[in-house]
Structure 1
Amino acid sequence: MIEELTSALGLGHYQEWDEAKRQQFLLEELTSRRPLIPRRWECSAESREVLDTFKVIAQEHSEALGTYIISMAAEPSDVLTVALLMKEVGGQVTLPIAPLFETLNDLDHAGEVVDQLLAIPGYRSLIDDRQEVMIGYSDSAKDAGQLAAAWAQYRAQESLVNVCNRHGVDLTLFHGRGGTVGRGGGPAHAAILSQPPGSVNGSLRVTEQGEMIRFKFGQPDIALRSMEIYACAVLEATLLPPRAPEPHWREEMDQLAKVAHAAYVGVVREDPDFVPYFRAVTPEGALGRLPLGSRPTKRRQDGGVETLRAIPWIFAWTQIRLMLPAWLGSGEAFSRRLEQPGGRDVLQEMRNEWPFFGTYLDMLEMLLAKADVAIAAYYEHRLVDEPSLKALGKQLRERFGRLEEAVLDILQQEKLLENTPLIRQAIDVRNPYIDPLHGLQAELLQRNRDADGAISADLSRALMVTMAGIAAGLRNTG
């Protein structure tokens, strides 16, 4: 929109300016007393939608709106642009502006971007020395794999805490978690206590999404209990922060993340059979008809995995009980380290003494227990014909098996959830109700494909019911 505005006013092409010139322009306009946007400016529909959004902000109480989040933030000018539009259109209403760092590259540079932002003269007066930063879990995991993303998120938070402390600015980290492990989900208390020391300093923001809103806040007593859990965890993390990781733990995580990332990318991005296998074996093509979610399943209708939004990406794999996005790559990382001298000892040391790594393994163990490669193989049997795709499916299930062996080795257990019998019991109770839905869903998907999507309304509704039923039974799927 700013490009369109500067061109219309004869000020030049905003997109061609470097970051320094953009910042200079935005800061001058922020302090200027004259309006920048002409009252009768005939702009494009996209720009009009942006302006209308800020007009809505101007008409509401700031307490009802919370924070303005900038998705895919990459430069300080992204934040200054929103501040300028609030000044131009938002009237007296100003909201906290939180840059959202989502991809692996964005997380790696989050501290640097916020450092540049806080060093800009005049910006500190706009924020009253309070800065919110949102950490994205969904897209970073889809981009890099769960293990590499989790470590990048941890390091980004450490960097942001250090930067804000150096500038004397109060930082509130905003965690964009979903319900699934692959989107940062898990027990709230453990998740908060596993954050870097200093990152929970009396304040925290978290998203609750999808079915997790109903589970945690659907009834008054449960909602009260959920808020108690959050409040107690924030107090504990503030007053008794977890220990900082030892230098050799950092080196271990760097290597584990490197191996896991390479393995994940080698399958998801580089294997030519992966996208066809994903579309053949999962109900991804039918998710758009499911009356759940607030956005289209894809950012673009063409392209591969990179165009798919994180929620349907995770949801599709969960439906066939393979849970692939949350574990792919981890098996290679752990197995390789266990084969090396001293590997088992250091992994067990990290599991016992470092809350971040211990919580990660706990979530991975729970996820492995909920998965069922036999059900995934049944979907493949019904829906996949090509030998190359079947070979890839077999390889993925073998990777899953090696990861399960590695996790049990690190945990020194004979079976999953050995030390958490209540979770094991809950899974065992739900499975007999969920398993028949998988068989029915595979049959309906086959009929839907044979009919090129032209199945009857009753069969289409039945297919949607199987998706909702499996999601409800597995609980943390959104």
Structure 2
Amino acid sequence: MYPDAKTELFEENVKLKYQLFNSIFITLPFSTIDNTGTLLPLFNEMCHEGYGKNKSPQEIFDTFSATYLAGSSEKEKIDIMFRFIQYVERQVVLFDAIEDAAFTQLNNLGGHGSLEETRDRAESSSLATELQGFLQNFRIRTVLTAHPTQFYPGSVLGIITDLTAAIKENNLGEIKTLLSQLGKTSFIKKKKPTPFDEAISLLWYLENVFYNVSGAISGYIQQYIYNNGTPQQPVLSLGFWPGGDRDGNPYVTSEITARVASRLRTSILKCYYNDIRRLKRKLTFEGVEILVAGLEHKLYRSVFYSEGEIYISLPELKQSLYEIRQLIINKHQSLYLDEVNELINKVNLFGFYFASLDIRQNSSIHTSVFGRIMEKIAKSDYRHKGYNNMSEANKIIHLDTLHHVVNPDDFDDEEVRSTLSSIAVMRQVQENNGEEGCNRYIVSNTGSALDILQLLAMLKMTGWENPPVDLIPLFETVEDLKESAAIMQKLYTNKKYSLHLEQRGNRQTIMLGFSDGTKDGGYLMANWSIYKAKEQLTALSRQYGIKVLFFDGRGGPPARGGGKTHKFYASQGPTIENNEIQITIQGQTISSNFGTPDTCRFNLENLLSAGITNGVFNKNKEQLTLRQRQLLERLAVLSYQKYTDFKNHPKFVPYLEKMSTLNYYARTNIGSRPAKRGVSKQLDFNDLRAIPFVGSWSQLKQNVPGFFGFGHALATFEKEDRWEEVKALYDESLFFRTLAENSMMSLSKSFFPLTAYMKDDEEFGSFWDLIFNEYKETRRLLLKLSGYTELMQNYPDGYASIKMREHIVLPLLTIQQYALHKIRLIRKCSYNDELLEVYEKIVIRSLFGNINASRNSA
């Protein structure tokens, strides 16, 4: 399809519909918002005209007030700002629903990247058998996290779902009713959600989207790729972090973990029960009917008449389904066989756990906890005295002498009790939900082999002799990524860990953090460092006979590893192990990329296709040449130096604190986690979480983490008269081209006229210029590199979506900057604390719509 055709489809199915339904919404008679619907379009137009004339947000709002709010008090002006925010965030919901409804018109679900296209390609290339073999050992794992990058409460998500369905059916009466409901539904969460609340929110997606889509994909693979045969393992699996992710979240307790695991089991049993009920209406055959009725009864009791008891085991459920299938084949002409097979596939996919509940904790917590455990052990066994003062090498040797059993109740220290209890609850979950219910423990900020070996020792100290748990190091910073291979070599050559790996099938999962990697090293260096680390870890693991699996911690925007994710995986060559694609999906990425059956299937199939492309169609593809590596290395180093100097600028942290919304993220009640890891009031860059860091740049419409340093690196090659080398790299390397295209997405979502007034600020003017100049240089050179005249020229519908969303939220952003300016004035002059609180509320409220509008960053 030509770009113009995609743009026309977008205009017809999204833009025009939005204009129509927004005109209905904006004229609805809401008693509490008076003439807001009339004034907002006028303010929006004034914003666009004002920025075109280099006016500041203050000048724009003051001009609007003088023109349309003459004689109004400050309180009345504040009221209209709040009402504008309310309207804009609802307009974003409307646009979300329209885009979701148009997804099948804008995307070919059977086209490039789909399983249908992949199967046809394999058959036409005589690779059908090879495709079957590849899928016997490959799968994708999507891990849902509760990271707070979307602000919609559950009630609003429900309206989006219903509105999407009504728009698909062109049901104008229902659309109008839902828009009225939307206008009267609160977007505010009066209190922070608990980790259990977050789990319940994400369970909706498991039950209503992933369950059926995963079953349908598995059924397609079984029927059309294996010709009704059965693969050795499911090609899909799900992971789950709410209730298990303890890193920096003191509200995740063992009790919460147990409750979430129990709810996951109840949810999957309820899904099976609903499927069995539907099958009961069809499987009315002799010998089959009684088996179905028996399953229905036992599942019903387990879901609705149970306080934790299960009245059917997983083997019993499987056995009954296999008997039903055999009877249908042998005696009933295979009637409804596909439906039975799909349910069997779901049971094989999800067991009694639905999604594996991952446990995660920071290495610094483990180090502290283990030290206190050793101090207590040393009081009764002098041989372990002085452990905490040993070198890392001696500590590793000393761990071999440990044969002690500890109990959480032996300790008064809450952090020790909590850490040991989290291990105990893993055993409990495995007993109730099966081993896969909770068999992964992730150690974030892994900086040494000792971080993993001490965890293994703690697992054994709790009486778990051969713990059925995968220990997963998470490497995040540029320095940790550089050391990752050396750390893993120490683990692979450690006798105790080697034995543990052998018991785990010689499979090692390694997690790599894009978000914190970018925060630490800048966009280009983070991505290149992860690529190199994967290559080194692949070579090392192959050397030791270990099957390595890479788990990527990704967010939505390119600055956090998002963007065109499937292209990133398709660009990895044979030097990077391709056994699984494991990724985190979070916040707006869940709702935008996996929130409906169509989007979920499209994106899951694209991930599968990316793995298949590498493992089947391009498995003999030439890897990066030495020359290309040298170019990438130099570009990354140049970018890293520029970003590091920027990060170390004396105005860097003060700029975020005083000029951005950073300090307001913690007050939004959108997630259970604190906004930073440390407890000190002083802002420490290293404690700052990636989400508020990236989000704050996004609110400024500067998107620094997605481009800063890239332009400098390209400009250096241009000055050295080596531009053709970079151009050749872009043309020949899908990996580099994908990075460039994703950076273009970050640039396209930047809007510097919003903050151009800062260039005249006495304290931060030159710092703003520094950012803006790098933006202009990066934009210029990426356009030159791609040959485009506009950013994202090869994704015209995506670009059109971004521009529409930016148009919708511009009034909100203007109000946010106006309020931030007022806050700075009030603080500078030390007057009217009551007014300060009001403007701070405006800033907090304005965060919501802007982040939600960025869902297409994923």
Q: Same-fold call, TM > 0.5? A: yes
1:431 maps to 2:431? no
How far did residue 180 of structure 1 move?
1.5
Report what 1:363 is aligned to: 742
Asked if structure 2 preserves the Cα contact closer than 8 Å seen for 1:158 and 1:196, the reply is no
Matched, 1:133 2:510: yes
Give the aligned partner of residue 312 of structure 1. 692
Q: Residue 164 of structure 1 aligns with which residue?
A: 541
CA contact 1:282–1:320 (8 Å) conserved in 2: yes
Tell which deviates more after alignment, 96-105 or 347-356: 347-356
Greater shift after overlay, 312-321 or 361-370? 361-370
Equivalent AA in structure 1 for residue 375 of structure 2: S
Q: Which moved more, 1:196-205 or 1:273-282?
A: 196-205
Q: Could you tell me how far apart the structure 1 residues matched to 2:428 and 2:675 are? A: 31
Q: Distance in 2 between matches of 1:436 and 1:347?
A: 40
TM-align CA RMSD: 2.2
Give the residue type in structure 1 aligned to 2:419.
V
Query: Letter of the aligned partner of 1:158 in structure 2?
Result: E
Give 1:217's aligned residue: 594
Residues 376, 464 of structure 1: CA spacing in aligned structure 2 closer, same or farther, 3 A cutoff? Answer: same
Superposition map of 1:11-26 within 5 A: 11-26=384-399
Q: Is the 8 A contact 2:522 2:709 kept in 1?
A: yes
Match of 1:321 in 2: 701
Check conservation: 1:448, 1:454, Cα contact below 8 A. no
Q: Which is worse superposed, 135-144 or 311-320?
A: 135-144
Aligned to 1:464: 844
Residue 286 (structure 1) aligned with residue 693 (structure 2): no
Cα offsets for 1:261-288 (capped at 9, x unmatched) = 111111211x212222222221111111
Contact 1:131 1:170 in 2 (8 A): yes
Once the two structures are TM-superposed, the CA of residue 156 in structure 1 deviates from its matched residue by 0.4
User: Is 1:372 the equivalent of 2:751?
Assistant: yes
1-side partners of 2:688 and 2:834: how far apart?
Answer: 24
Give the distance between the partners of 2:479 and 2:653, measured in 1 at CA.
Answer: 23
Alignment partner, residue 424 of structure 2: 55
Residue in structure 2 matched with residue 299 of structure 1 by the alignment: 677
Match of 1:186 in 2: 563
Indicate yes or no: 2:421 matched with 1:42.
Answer: no
Distance change >3 Å, CA 285–CA 122, structure 1 → 2:
closer
Q: Which moved more, 1:235-244 or 1:180-189?
A: 235-244
Structure-2 change in CA distance of 1:403 and 1:90 (3 Å): farther
Structure 1 residues 135 and 440, CA, compared in 2 at 3 Å: closer, same or farther? same
* Alpha-carbon offset, residue 230 of structure 1: 1.7
Q: Does 1:3 align with 2:383?
A: no
CA distance in 1, matches of 2:520, 2:809: 30
**Secondary structure, counterpart of 2:550 in structure 1:** strand
- What is the number of equivalent residue pairs in this alignment? 468
CA distance in 2, matches of 1:80, 1:272: 39
SS state of the match for residue 701, structure 2?
coil
Alignment correspondent of 1:70: 443
Deviations 1:107-140 (A, max 9, x none): 0011111111111123222123110100111112
Question: 1:185 and 1:250, CA in 2 relative to 1: closer, same or farther beyond 3 A?
Answer: same
Question: How far did 1:458 drift?
Answer: 7.0
Q: Match for residue 642 of structure 2?
A: 263
SS at match of 1:264: helix
Match of 1:27 in 2: 400
AA matched with 2:396: Q
Query: For 1:455-476, what per-residue CA distance to the aligned partner results, in whole angstroms no more than 9, with x for missing partners?
Result: 5887655433321111111225
Q: Which residue of 238, 252, 258 maps to 2:615?
A: 238
Q: Which runs of 5+ in 2 are unaligned?
A: 1-368, 379-383, 828-832
Paired amino acid for 1:106: D
Q: Distance in 1 between matches of 2:842 and 2:661?
A: 13
In structure 2, do the counterparts of structure 1 residues 163 and 179 end up closer, same or farther at CA, with 3 Å as the change threshold?
Answer: same
Distance of 2:540 and 2:672 partners within structure 1: 35
Contact 2:563 2:745 (8 Å CA) reproduced: no
CA shift for structure 1 position 163: 0.3
1:298-447 correspondence to structure 2 within 5 Å: 298-300=676-678, 301-341=681-721, 343-378=722-757, 380=758, 386-447=761-822
Shift of 1:319: 0.6
Task: Give the CA deviation at 1:389.
Answer: 0.9
Give the letter for the 1:112 counterpart.
A
Give the superposition deviation at 1:69: 0.6
Counterpart of 2:498 in structure 1: which amino acid? R
Conserved 8 A contact 1:173-1:199 = no
Between the two proteins, what is the percent identity of the paired residues?
25
1:151 aligned counterpart, secondary structure? helix
Task: Check if 1:104 corresponds to 2:483.
Answer: no
Query: Residue 525 of structure 2 corresponds to which residue in structure 1?
Result: 148
Greater displacement, 176-185 / 460-469? 460-469
Moved over 6 A (4+): none
CA contact under 8 A between 2:563 and 2:857: conserved in structure 1?
no
- Give SS of 1:204's match: strand
TM-score by length of 2: 0.52
1:449: how far off? Answer: 4.7
Larger Rg: 2
Gaps of 5+ in 1: none
**Greater relative CO (CA pairs within 8 A, separation 6+):** 2
CA contact (8 A) 2:374 2:387 kept: yes
Q: Is the 8 A contact 1:174 1:206 kept in 2?
A: yes
Secondary structure of the 2:400 match is helix
Shift of 1:200: 4.3
CA distance, structure 2, for counterparts of residue 325 and residue 339 of structure 1: 24
Post-superposition CA distance 1:227-252 (Å, at most 9, x none): 22222222222222453111111111
- SS, match of residue 790 in structure 2: coil
Name the CA distance, whole Å, in 1 between partners of 2:665 and 2:857: 14
SS in structure 1 of the partner of residue 724 of structure 2: helix
Shift of 1:141: 1.1
